[in-house]
Structure 1
């Protein structure tokens, strides 16, 4: 029978799968409509009120799309609303954040060397960052600066840089970058839920009531949609960053995250210009390449070690202390030391490896107790670690890891 740790990991996997699927749907529709909008052309014989049209071919058929800046004279009964992709991407992302980072706050969220927080404090700060990001952004878009698109983007970028620095002072490196991405994704979802959809509903209601809709509602929705378009690529990078210690495991991680936003803007600018004029500016590739090289260089900055080299079991949380004091801990620690720690070290002893995989250190007893659940799932229950069993861990040693973890009790699995 599956124990709680295995079931919890499968729950995380299932929710992550849903998040990726809905994210693909949302990002795909966003990219499509931006390209469609920029590719519209004037043509003779277009209906009254039409702004432009585009002909497309796909799947063996032809599609003729016409855009109205406000609305057509006649609104058909069947109207497709593109909203659920955004809603479910945020809902599944928030669920995944709770499953992985909130339930596992002592492992994934809290870094005692940066901020010695209680789990409830870390979770409260996590939620506050998400909400605060949206509130600040929305206030900016409603401020006197709203008529100056460049000023809005510059202030937004300054806020992103400040948030990146602050998150890296509070949370673990991987949690900091992921939260910056989640905060930005919350802004994007908030644009859909609080601005774009309500404005579209006003236009539809006016049209059905025989009133002429105000064009300002469509213009506001279009501005927010454009912001979403430019924020998409940085969010994707930040969501993937937790798999790459070179992105989150250095003192310069907050700078790397900020530069990613510039890189995302340059890439989107190229494609948006390409869709609009038929030719994208070549300088954007040079700019993107230089920023990427700068990011790669920054990734070799000193890893954030804090006081980890002097950690001992006295600094563990009560939950982690139970694993350190559990029967079989010494035997399990010996297995880890012989089969895992050569790579999972602050200075890995494996040719070509600069940093520990995923930033996980397994050198001292405190490290092993802190990562008990990961050891159990990766090397005890499954054969994911060591990769290709390069260090030759035996079935008996895997059993030692399983027995040690299970001796504590399944109620600790989510910690």
Structure 2
């Protein structure tokens, strides 16, 4: 018999793996080319007509790299394009969004205590926000307002702050920060797909036709690449935030996300300055540390109170609380899991529930039914090292209960 819950978990694992691999490839190439461009020696009169050059060493070999501001006099036949890393990262990321947040919307996307909306409505808001975000950003970049890049970046930061706050008014905390990351990543990939690559194709076509390419296309592409460079680190933080409840479950999660963007700017400013041989602005690390300390403080300020032990499950998760065997499973979970997964963990060294998962109420157990089934029923991942001595019969009871709720 095929266990479709386990199969779904493996599909999520595979897609996540692809997302991580392609993300590493995209971020690696992006960081490399920005560092290369900033580090070029442009004070040399090169016979090739190139705008700048740099010598590098890696893996036992030496590389002589030259950059042409518009294009070389003759187009090489083996030109390498860097694009699929970006496209594959976004496609696999969107697949994760569908698998985890759309198909599991009742657990991860919609929080009735934030906004009680139907699942289809939440998904529609998610899709519209991602597309409208790119359209608005692209319009700003192409407008007169966007001609001043510093002014544009400051305004875009304001937009990101507003989006951070807006997402937290619609989705669960976990989904809000994830969506802010997806919102930003969608802009980055759209920059590659709609601006950078088409502009490069225009230059190549002009060169092949014997025309002198217009330098504006390279200038526009570089602007978008620079934006991507400064947005990368915040996106990584936001994509990882779903593993850290102190980031997404705080009352000030939108402010935490906003400060993360400033940390990304301060870190990138340091490395970009070093690569461009403009000194080593060590003050950026102090700024980054202070921002991170502010985030740490905000994450624990005014933590919301927890539901009491008698809280009942509502909404889609209610079926698990009503399923045959729930009373037995509740006793098992309270005895084997709640010493860690509670508002005030009783296990020495723990100050808050791991991953923000609370299993000290009927509501908490029902809302985390799938995770309990996968980690304590189908596998022995929980309790870790079986510290609370969960017995095989108890794991079997968990499997019977979950499968009864789904039948």
- Kindly state the Cα deviation for residue 133 of structure 1 after the two structures are TM-superposed: 1.7
CA contact under 8 A between 1:114 and 1:306: conserved in structure 2? no
Q: Mark the CA change 1:294 to 1:273 in structure 2 (over 3 Å): closer, same or farther.
A: same
Determine if contact 1:347/1:356 at 8 Å carries over to the other structure: yes
**Structure-2 change in CA distance of 1:87 and 1:125 (3 Å):** same
Change (3 A) 1:349 1:339: same
> Counterparts of 1:374-385 in structure 2 under 5 Å?
374-385=371-382
Distance 1:310 1:40 in 2: 65
Aligned-partner SS, 1:66: strand
State the alpha-carbon separation in 1 of the partners of residues 353 and 38 from structure 2: 45
- CA change 1:32–1:388 in 2 (3 A) is same
Distance 1:258 1:309 in 2: 34
- SS of the equivalent of 2:197 reads helix
Work out the CA distance in 1 between the residues paired with 2:308 and 2:262.
Answer: 33
Q: Does 1:84 align with 2:80?
A: no
Aligned twin of 2:98: 98
Could you tell which deviates more after superposition, 266-275 or 338-347? 338-347
TM-score (norm 1): 0.95
- Mapped to 1, the partners of 2:172 and 2:123 lie a distance apart of 13
**1:306 Cα offset (Å):** 8.2
Q: Residues 239 and 257 from structure 1, CA distance in 2 versus in 1: closer, same or farther, beyond 3 angstroms?
A: same
Q: CA deviation at 1:305?
A: 4.9
Q: Contact 2:44–2:52 at 8 Å: present in 1 too?
A: no
- What SS does structure 1 have at the residue aligned with 2:53? strand
Alignment length (residue pairs): 407
Structure 1 residue 323 corresponds to structure 2 residue 326: no
Partner residue, 1:252 = 252
Higher relative contact order (CA 8 A, sep 6+): 1
Pairing 1:111–2:104 present: no
Deviation per residue, 1:360-410 (Å, 9 max, x gap): 222222221221111100111111111222222111111111111112336
Q: 2:333 aligns with which of 332, 336, 339?
A: 336
Contact 2:310/2:362, CA 8 A, preserved across alignment: no
| Superimposed CA distance per residue, residues 4-44 of structure 1 (whole angstroms, 9 cap, x where no aligned partner) | 10000000000000000000000000000000001100365
Distance 2:190 2:183 in 1: 10
| DSSP-derived class of the 1:54 partner | strand
- TM-superposed CA distance for 1:309, in Å, is 7.4
Conserved 8 A contact 2:23-2:86: yes
Pick which of 346-355 and 119-128 moved more: 346-355
Write the deviation string for residues 190-214 of structure 1: whole angstroms up to 9, x where unpaired.
1000100010010000000000000
Aligned equivalent of 2:165: 165
Q: Secondary structure at the match of 2:405?
A: coil
| Distance (whole Å) between structure 2 residues aligned to residue 135 and residue 187 of structure 1 | 9
Contact 1:55 1:62 in 2 (8 A): yes
